[in-house]
Amino acid sequence: MAGTRIGTNYLGSRMNSENDGILGAKKMTTRASQRAALASIGNKVSLAPAEGKKGMKKEVVKPNKVLTKSNATTSLQTALVHKEKVQEKVYSPMEVSKSNAYSKCRLNFEDIDKNDGDNPQLVSEYVNDIYGYMRHLEVEYAVKPSYLDGQEVNPRMRSILVDWLVQVHLRFHLLQETLYLTVAIIDRFLQVHEVSRNKLQLVGVTSMLVASKYEEMYAPEIADFVYITDNAYSKSDIRKMEILILKTLEFNLGKPLPLHFLRRNSKAGQVDPTKHTLAKYLMELTITDYESVQYTPSQIAAGALCLSIRTLDGDGDWSDTLHHYSNYSEENLMPVMRRMATLIMKSENSKLQAIRTKYSTSKFNKISSIPQLKSSVITDLVKES
C-alpha cells in the first residue's frame, strides 16, 4: 500500500468520485497491550447412584408355550423381517460426506484421515460430520444475490469499503479469518437492514470489531477504530451499531468461511504451498466483488483451488479425492472459476489495489504477479464467461 497513511487522501478520493460520503481514516499504530485472560471455569457433574425402588413385586416367569409347527414358522418369518429392518441403514444429513453414504462411493478416493487417529486436535473420527454441518450452516446463512437492489448503498460503495478494510486489517495485524468474517457480517447485515451511505463506514468498522472479538485472542479496542476513522464516529456510535448488528444477526456469527474449506481441500489434494497461496489470493479477490456473494464459501474455496491447480500445472487434475472431500466436480466449479478468471484480468487496471498489492509482497511469495496469471488457462475462461 502506497503512502504512510490510511486516510482521507485514499478513501476520500475514492468515495468522493462516487459521491457516497464515506470519510477517510488515519494510519493506526497497533496497540500491544494485552487483555486479562479469562480464568478457567470448571463444570462439575455429580452422578448419584440410582436408588432402588422398595416394595416392588418380583416378576413371575411363566413357562414358555409349547411351540407347534405353525407358530414356529410364524416366529421364524417375524425374526427374519425384524433382522432385515435392523440391517437397513438410513443416513442422516450429518453423514453425507462419508464414503458409503451415497453414490460417491464409486469414486476412487483416498482416506486422508486414516493416519490422524493419534492426533486429538485433528478429530479424525468426527471431521466428516463437522464439515457436513458446516455445509448446512453455509446454506442457512447464505447471502442473497443482488441484495443491494433499491438501496442507497450501491455495489461500488461496498467494494471501496471492503478494499479499505483490507488495509485496516493489515495495519491491525489481524487473522485472515477476521477479514472474511468481517465481510460476511457486512453482507448479512446489509441484506436485512438498509443503511445510508454516510453510515456505511460505521457498519464496516463495527463489523470488524465484532469479528475481532469472535476470532482474535486480543481484539482491538473501540478507541482504535475511532482513531482509524479519523474520529468520524464516536465510541457511542460504534457501540450502538454493534448492538444493532448483533440483534439483526440474532448473535449467529458461526457462518463457515472459505478458509475452513480451503484447508480441508488442500489436504485432500496434497497441494504445495504455492498452489495454496494462489488459491488464497483468488478467494480474497472475491470479497470485494459484489457478484461473488451468490457463491457459498465451499464453492469459492473449491473453485479457487481448482483454478490454482489448473493455472500452475497447465491443465491440472481435479482428482476423485478432491471431488469427494470438496463435494464438487470440476464441471460444477466452472462458473466460479470463470468469475475468478475475470477478476484476475480486471485486477491489474482496477482502482482497488489493496488485495493485489498485499499478495505482491514476499510474505505471500509475490503470487499476484506471477506470469501464469496471464496464461491461456485464464484467458480461455474469461472468453467462456
Task: Tell me the average pLDDT of the chain.
Answer: 81
Q: Cα separation of 354 and 31, whole Å? A: 23
Q: Cα separation of 156 and 374, whole Å? A: 26
For the entire predicted model, the pTM comes to: 0.74
Q: Cα separation of 107 and 362, whole Å? A: 39
CA distances from 214 to 166, 169, 172, 260 (A): 18, 15, 15, 15
Cell of 315: 491443465
Kindly state the DSSP code that residue 12 receives in the 8-state scheme.
I
Residue 364 φ then ψ, to 5°:
-110, 30
pLDDT at 253 over 80: yes
In the prediction, which pLDDT does 104 show?
A: 46
What is the pLDDT confidence band of residue 78, given thresholds at 50, 70 and 90? low
In the prediction, which pLDDT does 32 show?
A: 42
pLDDT at 53 over 70: no
- Most confident residue range from 25-39, 109-123, 178-192: 178-192
In the prediction, which pLDDT does 34 show?
A: 43
CB 364 within 8 A of CB 277: yes
User: Burial of 248 by CB count in 10 Å (0-12 exposed, 13-18 middle, 19+ buried)?
Assistant: middle
What is the pLDDT confidence band of residue 216, given thresholds at 50, 70 and 90? very high
pLDDT at 222 over 60: yes
In the prediction, which pLDDT does 338 show?
A: 96
- The CATH H-level superfamily of 142-248 is Cyclin-like (1.10.472.10)
In the prediction, which pLDDT does 11 show?
A: 52
Average pLDDT on 354-368 reads 95
Range with the poorest average pLDDT among 65-69, 253-257, 283-287, 362-366? 65-69
User: CB under 8 Å to 267, separation ≥6 — which residues?
Assistant: 112
pLDDT at 127 over 60: yes
Domain residue limits, the chain? 142-248, 258-384
pLDDT at 229 over 70: yes
In the prediction, which pLDDT does 337 show?
A: 96
In the prediction, which pLDDT does 108 show?
A: 85
pLDDT at 307 over 90: yes
In the prediction, which pLDDT does 36 show?
A: 39
| 142-248 matches 258-384 in fold | yes
What is the pLDDT confidence band of residue 359, given thresholds at 50, 70 and 90? very high
What is the pLDDT confidence band of residue 258, given thresholds at 50, 70 and 90? very high
In the prediction, which pLDDT does 74 show?
A: 53
Query: For domain 258-384, which architecture applies?
Result: Orthogonal Bundle (1.10)
Query: Could you write out the DSSP letters of every residue in 167-184?
Result: HHHHHHT--HHHHHHHHH
**3-state DSSP percent of the chain in helix, strand and coil, to 5:** 55, 0, 45
In the prediction, which pLDDT does 62 show?
A: 46
Average pLDDT on 109-121 reads 91
